[in-house]
Copies of this chain bind each other. A is one copy, B any other.
Amino acid sequence: MDESEFLAGYDPRAYPAVAVTVDVVALTIRGGGLRVLLIRRAEQPHAGLWALPGGFIRPGEDLPQAAARELAEETGLSDRSGPLGRIHIEQLASYGAPERDPRMRVVSISYLAFAPDLPDPRAGSDAADASWHPVDKLPELAFDHDRILAHGLERARGKLEYTPLATAFAGERFTISELRGVYETVWGVQLHAGNFHRKILSVPGFVESTGETTESGGARGGPRAKLYRAGDARLLHPALLRPAREEQIR
């Protein structure tokens, strides 16, 4: 049955109401680890549990717009100005299992956001509490948000392979080592510094030199590092592949 034929022949209000929400998996790197923005639920069901920020879409509001608004409400930053201007947001997936919310039919469209070290979230009027949680030490999550988050993490890890997304986690200017830190943090593996360095500089358009170096060497020694900024590539070619794990192939 075609959607519009349905609409022409039936009154949707005669069907049980369907609520459409957006949920945002917002990732940043803080304190040396990958973290996700969670809010603590104030109301039933699942009151007291942590959940992804999200909410009902508003009339006249597009989906990506709703996701940006939800994120802005939690971080206190506007999408238009300030550091949030560099935030990357993309659609992740949709979840609509009939019983995922015990009260009514809720279809949730999830978005994935990446950004360099964001400020502490402010608990809005609608959230009891909000904070950045290390993804490797998560509390129990409300609804099916653990599944959504797992999906977001896997998407983020995959996207580092063939897009310059890692630069979105770094500052405006960064060193190759900082970029390597992003990969190591998100992938949770150690990379060979020399090979990584060679690879980054050999992928066309990934990074471009600023001609500058850091003000001083590293905290524990070492020479000053050259500074780079993000290049103009939208895809990395050849891709920067994770070390293959046999278990994910079969």
List residues of chain A with CB under 8 Å of any chain B CB: 1-10, 12-13, 15-21, 23, 39, 41-46, 51, 53-57, 59-63, 70, 73, 91, 93-98, 101, 103-109, 124, 126-127, 142-143, 204-205, 232-235, 237-238, 241, 244, 248-250
Contacts and interface: CB of A to CB of B under 8 A. Distances in A.
14 contacts: A1-B56, A3-B55, A4-B44, A6-B56, A6-B126, A7-B104, A15-B59, A20-B20, A20-B96, A59-B105, A63-B96, A91-B94, A232-B250, A234-B250
A63 to B, nearest CB: 4
Contacts of A6: 21, 55-56, 126
A192 B229 CA distance: 38
B2 A55 contact: yes
B73 A1 contact: yes
Copies of this chain, whole number:
2
A75 to B, nearest CB: 14
Contact of A62 (B13, B61, B96, B124): B96
